[in-house]
Structure 1
């Protein structure tokens, strides 16, 4: 999630909402759970690592897949109106067309050509692209969470502060990405090989200096903001920003178990905002507080809660379909050169397509000036 928000994104007359769900829930969902879970993983006995790893991987799938599906549910809802520019300015209209139509066509063409040509090396480049965009996406989402919490707490950052935060995010991400490319290595993703490259040492040295310097600048800036606001900060947002950059990107390889649990934590961070957003959408309907017609459903509560639950269930089903059932069926039904491209080609395509496309969708949806974000995220 890449949120480009400021005070301008919130109606002046709107009553401030201090939390998405509450102080404890926000802390845990936006990133604080990483501070509790990740250190514990250091003390897992060796004989239990397999069980813990499998549990974490399952949890990641249960949380991670719906978070991808939710981005499609939101992005393509009323898509015709967005494409036609009905209520959207020209710039946002173009962005919706590009991310929603042009990008999937380009990616679909790339995968179709690589598959038909049996070019495993060409398809392998998509593995590098996913690694590149995932780190970038984590940075933008961590920054976005800080901006959201700053708006909720009315502790705004000025434009100079935002530049410091963004530069630091990109510097840390770039250094971490270059670290994974310190030497040429061959890796596999769903049976297809892809390669990292050997980054020159001088480039890595510049990156580590930039990351260290920008981190120091960020600390100084936050201290100054803390003093200016009377000893307060949007703490949950700061935690989200810090763990996204350092625990989930820069130091994630310290413990192999971290690699398994971080996607779930990242997704939980996203779900906090999406579920709050969708709740506000449903609360805006005229029958939001009416009890369900069927008494058996009254245990859930008013209609808005029932609809939010339906939104979550649909996202879970779409996640299972997109990541597993559809690609497995395609792999079984569509003939291709399995000796060259492996037995899981469509799983490879689906996972990379959704991961990369997700970045483009979020980069449009959560922008300042999007009328739906202004209306529903902060009410």
Structure 2
């Protein structure tokens, strides 16, 4: 008879039962999982009894103190990296996409210059503006243009709203690209029609976000310049929510179920997380205070930096590609990241703040150049990204 003791075996160590995949964990955090964890944490802090504790308030104050550092590390360098991906592909690529890479930056600089020139010209000098505002109000849309002191201030506010509107589209399309790339890496490929279904879902999400009016960034009541958010009829928001819900059903019925039925395969976790996270980023109904304005740009930047690193390691730059050792290539990549952190800080913060401090143009608000840099760099980054991920781009071919 066999001994029960002889057949006894020790349980496997936890690391063998649940093996840790560092690369998969890093990808999960970078493609959106980190933002989901932060959102869950921020939602916990929204509890009144919890947030009023002294230690919690001290922690939040420290987070606010370090907010610039987080932006410098994660948001700024991804924008600078996009310039490298566009303008380092040579004159042929630049001229082929001259509208986005040459024409747009000149146009936006011209509009910012026009804003400074017309800052104190009263709105009453253009009766058409007042008539259009009243006409919009009849349709339930409050533009609040009359709050601005001049035509130039209204133009700057309109450019800021434009930046926010385009950012929603940009976030959605980047999440789309991340999901497609992560899916294809795992062998989960979508047909052209299925990709269109996913795009329609993200367009509906963008519209839902747009109709929120971006009230989370209303900054008129302080010494600098801010914009008055638009207000749309509340029925429009819920109609957009209904359309978004229909597109979710479309994604499930036209993408998830057919592929599962045919191949017994579900989307990889990284693809699911990238889409689910952007859903939570842009929906206007459950937003912890400061999340969309403060955390979402950082999470978006981390997404971009992750794929930037993949492209660099794959040989986007011939200088880095010539380094045979992966370890040395990684060290070179870290130095490149540090350089872009410094350039981003100079471009987004230091130089604009110094220009504002000089009162170069006396009649402008004290944060005009800061906002102008924010608008120019971000919107130009969106235009750059619309071309560097196309099929004729070396970046697209690598990633």
- Alignment equivalent of 2:62, drawn from 26, 51, 59: 51
CA distance in 2, matches of 1:347, 1:131: 16
The aligned residue for residue 258 of structure 2 is 224
TM-score, normalization: structure 2?
0.76
The residue number in structure 1 matching 2:136 is none
* RMSD of equivalent CA atoms: 2.6
Cross-structure match for 1:120: 153
Deviation per CA, 1:3-32: give whole Å up to 9, x if none: xxxxxxxxxxxxxxxxxx821111111111
The SS at the match of 1:231 is coil
Residue 255 of structure 1: how far off its partner (Å): 0.8
1:36-61, CA deviations, whole angstroms, 9 ceiling, x for partnerless residues? Answer: 22212223342243333444553233
**Aligned equivalent of 1:363:** 386
Q: Give yes or no for the alignment of 1:373 onto 2:362.
A: no
After the TM superposition, which residues 126-165 of structure 1 pair with which residues of structure 2 at under 5 Å, given as runs? 126-165=159-198
Alignment of 1:62-77 (within 5 A): 62-77=73-88
Correspondence for 2:148: none
Q: SS at the partner of 2:226?
A: strand
The answer for the alignment partner of 1:263 in structure 2 is 297
Deviations for 1:79-128, whole angstroms, at most 9, x for unmatched residues?
Answer: 423235xxxxxxxx1xx211110000000000011112222112111111
- Aligned equivalents of 1:282 and 1:105: distance in 2? 27
Q: Give the deviation of 1:366 after TM superposition.
A: 0.7
* SS of equivalent to 1:179: coil
The residue number in structure 2 matching 1:306 is 331
| C-alpha distance 167-282 of structure 1, shift in aligned 2 (>3 A) | closer
Q: Which has the higher contact order (CA 8 A, sep 6+)?
A: 1
**Offset at 1:325?**
1.8
Gap runs ≥5 in structure 2: 1-21, 52-56, 120-151
How much has 1:164 moved relative to structure 2?
Answer: 1.1
- After superposition, the C-alpha distances for 1:343-373 in whole angstroms (9 at most, x for unaligned) are 1211010011111111110010011332442
Please show how residues 83-94 of structure 1 align to structure 2 within 5 Å: 83-84=94-95, 93=96
1:27 corresponds in structure 2 to 28
- Residues 262-308 of structure 1: CA deviation (Å, up to 9, x unaligned): 22111111111011101112686574126xxxxxxxxx942x22332
TM-score normalized by the length of structure 1: 0.80
Q: Is this contact kept in 1: 2:353–2:369, CA < 8 A? A: yes
Q: 1:177 to 1:372 in 2, by over 3 A?
A: closer
Does the CA-based 8 Å contact 1:61-1:264 persist in structure 2? no
Aligned to 1:275: 309
**For 2:43, what is the secondary structure of its paired residue?**
helix
Q: Against the structure 1 CA distance between its residues 235 and 301, is the aligned structure 2 distance closer, same or farther, given a 3 Å change threshold? A: closer
The worse-fitting range, judged by mean Cα deviation, of 250-259 and 60-69 is 250-259
Quote the Cα distance in structure 1 between the aligned partners of 2:88 and 2:179: 26
Instruction: Report the alpha carbon displacement of residue 129 of structure 1 after superposing the two structures with TM.
Output: 0.5
Instruction: Tell me the residue number matched to 1:90.
Output: none
Q: Does 1:353 align with 2:376?
A: yes
Find the partner of 2:365 among 338, 342, 350: 342
Please say which structure displays the higher CA radius of gyration: 2
Segments of 5+ residues of structure 1 without an aligned counterpart are 1-20, 85-92, 291-299
Cα distance, 1:202–1:371 mapped onto 2, change above 3 Å: same
Inter-partner Cα distance in structure 2 for 1:197 and 1:309: 42
